[in-house]
Structure 1
Amino acid sequence: MTDIRMTTGGAGVTRAWTVRGGQSGEREQAALAEGRAIVGWEELGDLSGCASADDVGELLAKAYPEEAAGTIDNWKRQLWRFITMDIGDYVVMPRKQLPVVAIGTLTGLYEYLPQAAPGFRHVRSTDWLRPSVERAAIRGDLRDSMGAFLTVSELSRRDAAMRVQVLAETGSDPGYVGAVEPPSGPAELVHDVQTSGTRQLTARDLIGLWGWQRRAAEVIDLVDHELASHGLRVDPHFTEVQLDRLVTVSAKETAEAEDAPGAVPGGGMRAPGEKPDVERPTDRDLTWRIGSLPFVREVITVRVGDPLSHAVTPMIEHDFSQLPVVDHNSVLRGVITWEGIARAQFGGGTATVSQAMDPHPETAREQEELFRRIDRIQKSGFTIIVDGENAVIGILTSTDLAGQLKARIEPFTLLEELERRMRRLTRHFSMDELPQKIRKTRELGRQFTLGQYAFLLEDPHCWAKLDWPYDQQHMLSRLRIVTKYRNELAHWAVDAPAEDAEALAATARLLKLLKIVDLDPAA
């Protein structure tokens, strides 16, 4: 076998990796003090002779004979990443108990230290350039990719390596502007996770891998089942965020062996040889979350030390009732309202943002239950949406809530009125005049479904009796579009029905035509 210490991975391109300091952060202090990146797997011996991930897998299988094949496969990929990372690559170590990450560069090849304490023997020499970069300084997409449950994963998309380099140099994340190219299908998603450890994509693109565009109940169950069958998890869950928000997919079986074979995230234990549970659709939390609603993400903010004019100008210009007050990392420090501005200006002199702000604004996170928050949003008029680092990511106002209520109710009210008018316009048909296909429905005393009215409109005799001043084929085409829309709405969906704007507009236009032949004076 080739001695891994004689190679460096050979990629020739600087990359960035997350290497965690243990499930409880137990390796973090030693890593920083000794200038090393360290991983666990204390039952595992020297990996220097391994020439491939499969070689690592063989040693893992011998060291942990009671572990499932999927666990061994996951572990071998993580360890192979660790021992083949290039010298000069960037390493990020999220601190478990602190709101910071450590960033360094690899300076040495893989080493096995047999004299070190168990769990501290697999190491890479590392120059920790910045041992305490604030997590809030890192943009949400990059921070989420660092948040994977894997011990070792690659930060490979959205200019991640370059951004980590800038973070190491300046302590600030330049961010990334642009779309995320989704995998071509479920197989490529699995491949990407196996290769890098994680894969980011939007919630819309995730369900699109299985051919869906809206998150109806059966779609959610299908995607949940498919992800579980491939051993994948998604964080946050794709129902908890807006359709175009990023989610991070990683392997469900991610924990390294820390204290004993079979250790799993959170300190639980699997029985020897037991496979991880596959999450059933019924296990999923079905609660509506703040993140299920669209809210303003391009939030105008001001700094604590700014002159008050920096707040007044945009508030007047955009007709805002409030502005979040943040620090240099967009961490929320308070909120400015017109009431606060008035108080500050009564004091005379040159007022500042700090004098006018309320330091205790109404806040919420995307994962919080929506309906528990509605009363408070209505009372204050708004809530500022923050992430886990208390950085501002959006704002939701009572006006936004009213708009969402309209978006979710309007399609149903239009369809209900449309069906009632169709019923009234066609009730004068006798049983003998009805097309054979729908007579049985009338005989049973039932109302026609929206789709059944198409049989009436396409029948020459019925169309002639209706005597509508419209093109028959146009009306049929419009009715079929609306019927399809109606059937889709019959299935519960996270996304507002109004998202299908074309079908909603078609419904409104058809209703307008019916109002005229129904002699509605308001039409």
Structure 2
Amino acid sequence: MAIPQSAINSIQQGVEPQYLVRDVLAWFGKTRRGVNVVAAIHGALSAANLETDPSFETAYLDEPVKIKRTGGPIEDDIVRGGTVDDPVIRVTSVAAAHRKIIAVSKSETVERAITLMLENNFSQLPVMSHVEARTIDGMFSWRSLGVERAGGRQPNRVQDAMEHAEIVNHADDLVQVVQRILLHDVVVVQAPDRTFQGILTIHDIAEQFQALAEPFLLVGEIEKHVRRLIDGRFTHQQLMSVRAGDDGRTITTVADLTFGEYVRLVQSEENWSRLGLAIDRTEFVRILDRVREIRNDVMHFDPDGLDNEVRKELQSAKRLLTCISPEPAPRPL
């Protein structure tokens, strides 16, 4: 697919159309932003003298982005290599930064605030005059309520048990914002129009970490199983033979091999026979090569996490390798 003609027509008429990030991905038949996908879309937009604002690369999947002209005539159906224009992971890439805000006003009762927190399983609530407000009065939380009650006071209104509200910008560096979340437990995310678009808590960051860490952990476990499978079964010369022709690396153990070299090592029937496995070599090589492809993509940050089908592929590969991988030798006492 390519940039739709309707978008090009709008821009030519002086209108900057808006599309969800997932719609932009769908133009190119994609659902997630792997490194190759991002480069290809950047290239297509650049070739057509177009860009998105904010960048489709870091915006949340369901966040609208404008399609804008960068200068020069608009061209369609041109795809060439592009570069990643924003290396920073932004706050706006986290789903929770776009979660509907549930707030209370200063004059509401403590009982209502407690009811809302229990109902929604929240630990805190922003204190605002209304949810479209551009100012925030503070935060009401279990902690702020506990501080008041520990001091012998019995607050009746939300304003009697508020604490400071930490505000971050939607375009802030997520890595730096995490430090502020650890310090304050929660931050409120401010949108470009200065309204507040969501909140981020320690729980949200933990969920995001799980989504991002899972592929690294799965690929790491698979790689350990592969190393255990081939360790001690090949000579130094055989290990050296799977390097690329112009690669001057010295390989002394299986740990020095790349994943692609693992694949090349077991592709030949002679090497395969050394493993002593009663499974299909062609299918095993296909599985390993697919893991190699996924691994290359995983090594680049993808704000959308792991696609469910890709997750299943990694879990299946891990399950197979767990079944055929030899048990480690016992350690001496």
Does the TM-score normalized on the shorter chain lie above 0.5? yes
Aligned to 2:170: 366
1:321 deviates by 1.7
Distance 2:119 2:328 in 1: 42
Deviations 1:99-156 (CA, angstroms, capped at 9, x unpaired): xxxxxxxxxxxxxxxxxxxxxxxxxxxxxxxxxxxxxxxxxxxxxxxxxxxxxxxxxx
* Other structure's SS at 1:305 match: coil
SS at match of 2:61: coil
Contact (CA 8 Å) 2:20, 2:61: kept in 1 or not? yes
Structure 1: tracts of 5 or more residues without a match: 1-182, 254-274
Are residue 399 (structure 1) and residue 208 (structure 2) matched? no
Partner SS, residue 95 of structure 2: coil
Aligned length: 309
Which residue is equivalent to 2:327? 519
Deviations 1:407-448 (A, max 9, x none): 33332343234223323322344469979xx94439975454
**Pick aligned residue for 2:294 from 473, 485, 493:** 485
Q: Distance in 2 between matches of 1:441 and 1:232?
A: 42
Aligned residue identity for 1:203? V
Residue 78 of structure 2 aligns with which residue? none
Q: CA deviation at 1:455?
A: 5.1
Q: Which amino acid aligns with 1:506?
A: E
- Structure 2 unaligned regions, length at least 5: 74-80
Deviation of the 1:501 alpha carbon: 3.1
Change (3 A) 1:205 1:250: same
- What is residue 225 of structure 2 aligned with on the other side? 421
Q: Could you list the per-position Cα deviations for residues 375-433 of structure 1 after superposition, in whole angstroms to 9, with x for gaps in the alignment?
A: 21111111111224443311111232233334333323432342233233223444699
Shift of 1:506: 2.7
Look up the match of 2:77: none
Taking structure 2 as the reference length, what is the TM-score of the superposition?
0.75
Q: Distance in 1 between matches of 2:36 and 2:237?
A: 39
Structure with the higher strand share, 1 or 2 = 1
2:96 is the counterpart of 1:295:
yes
Match of 2:41 in 1: 223
Structure 1 residues 311 and 472 mapped into 2: Cα distance closer, same or farther (>3 Å)? farther
* Partners of 1:430 and 1:285 in 2: CA distance: 44
Q: Which residue of 2 aligns with 1:45?
A: none
Alignment partner of 1:251 is 2:34: no
Aligned to 2:160: 355
Q: Percent identity?
A: 25
Contact 1:433–1:462 (Cα < 8 Å) also in 2: no
Distance 1:470 1:306, change over 3 A: farther
What is the RMSD computed on CA atoms of the aligned residues?
3.8
C-alpha distance in 2 between matches for 1:510 and 1:281? 32
Q: CA deviation at 1:247?
A: 0.7
CA 402–388 in structure 1, closer or farther in 2 if over 3 Å, else same:
same
Of 89, 100, 110, the residue aligned with 1:308 is 110
Cα shift at 1:286: 2.9
Alignment CA distance shift 1:240-1:487 (3 Å):
closer
* 1:240 aligns to 2:58 (yes or no): yes
* Cα distance change, pair 251–460 in 1 and its aligned pair in 2 (3 A): closer
CA deviations 1:444-463 (Å, max 9, x no partner) are: 75454434444555655554
Letter in 2 for 1:502: E
Task: Return the alpha-carbon distance in structure 1 between the equivalents of residues 36 and 267 of structure 2.
Answer: 33
User: Using a 3 Å threshold, how does the CA distance of structure 1 residues 503 and 226 change in structure 2: closer, same or farther?
Assistant: closer
Displacement of 1:333:
3.2
1:193 aligns with 2:2: no
Indicate if the aligned counterparts of 2:166 and 2:186 stay in contact, CA closer than 8 A. Answer: yes
**2: distance between equivalents of 1:473 and 1:229?**
40
- In 2, Cα distance between equivalents of 1:304 and 1:495: 36
Residue in 2 aligned with 1:20? none
TM-score (norm. length: structure 1): 0.50
- 1:320-354 per-residue CA deviation (whole Å, 9 max, x = no partner) reads 221112223432332111132235665447x1223
* Greater RCO (CA < 8 Å, at least 6 residues apart): 2
> 1:472: Cα distance to partner?
5.0
**Separation in 1, partners of 2:234, 2:144:** 70
Q: Distance in 1 between matches of 2:50 and 2:184?
A: 40
Q: Which residue of 2 aligns with 1:41?
A: none
- C-alpha deviation, 1:241, in angstroms: 1.4
Number of the residue aligned with 2:307 = 500
Counterpart of 1:300 in 2: which secondary structure? coil
Q: Which residue of 2 aligns with 1:173?
A: none
**Aligned mate of 2:243, from 420, 438, 441:** 441
Aligned partner of residue 309 in structure 1, secondary structure: helix
Per mean C-alpha deviation after superposition, the further-off stretch among 223-232 and 419-428 is 223-232
User: 1:520 Cα deviation (Å)?
Assistant: 5.2
Match of 2:138 among 334, 338, 343: 334
User: What is the identity, as a one-letter code, of the residue corresponding to 1:235?
Assistant: D
Flag the 1:432–1:408 CA change in 2: closer, same or farther, 3 A.
closer
Structure ranking higher in helix proportion: 2
1:299–1:367: structure 2 CA closer, same or farther, 3 Å change rule? same
